[in-house]
Amino acid sequence: MTDSLSGESLFTEDEGDLLGEVVNIAMGRAGAALAEAFSGFVNLRVPEIRAVNASIIGEARARLEHAYDRISIMHQEFFGELAGHIAVIFGPASYAALRNVLGFDDRDGDGRRQREELLLELGNALASTCVSGISSQLEMRTGLRAPRVVAFDAPARDAVQRLFGDLPVWSGKTLQIDIVFHLEEHDVPFELVITVSPECLSSMKRELSRRVMG
């Protein structure tokens, strides 16, 4: 896990370390909850936290464009004391694997709408468990808005453009949490990118520093 937080003035080394642990624990809980909710999820590898750092949105954008060929993206906003955006990124292989795992039966059909529903269902489950895991540990209240499909099986470049094109322009740096999930038997990764709204950072820092001192 990268610790670029300490290099930036956002958080101290200890605060960054603690935040990493908070995310770790939130992920563990999310994994367990998902395994229980969707029996096909047993053996969800512990998510790999790719980054917990302050980065300029443009860097995330460039990385996503180059890492994938065609993707689907779900976007969900969270608001309150802890606010920001979550994007769940699915590669094409993920869909087939997820379909089995989530036990979506054929009665619902296999049209585009049903596929979108699947993405939204899973995306929401991932996003909400992760965010609520983080917010509850930090004791910062948050709520989630309804998720929406930003791109469906679109070229990565277009999809990423649509995602970041919609977000308000933030100057400077903000906290970004990047998590990669794997389903054990499928080897298909999918990714969660959480960006925290800059207005929340000082409260976050306060909570973290409180725990560091305590």
Binding site for another protein (CB under 8 A): 1, 13-14, 17-18, 20-21, 24-25, 27-29, 31-38, 42-44, 46, 103, 105, 107-108, 113-114, 116-117, 120-121, 124-125, 128-129, 132, 137, 144, 146-149, 212
CB contact set of 172 (below 8 Å; sequence gap of 6+): 56, 198
Per the listing, tokens 């970041």 go with: 164
Nearest to 90 by CA among 57, 56, 124, 59: 124
Question: Are residues 54 and 173 in contact, defined by beta-carbon separation less than 8 angstroms?
Answer: yes
Question: Are residues 176 and 106 in contact, defined by beta-carbon separation less than 8 angstroms?
Answer: no
Residue 55 forms beta bridges with which residues? 174
29 vs 69: CA distance, rounded Å: 31
172 vs 183: CA distance, rounded Å: 35
Question: Are residues 10 and 175 in contact, defined by beta-carbon separation less than 8 angstroms?
Answer: yes
Neighbours of 199 (CB within 10 A): 11
Q: Is 183 exposed, middle or buried (0-12, 13-18, 19+ CB in 10 A)?
A: buried
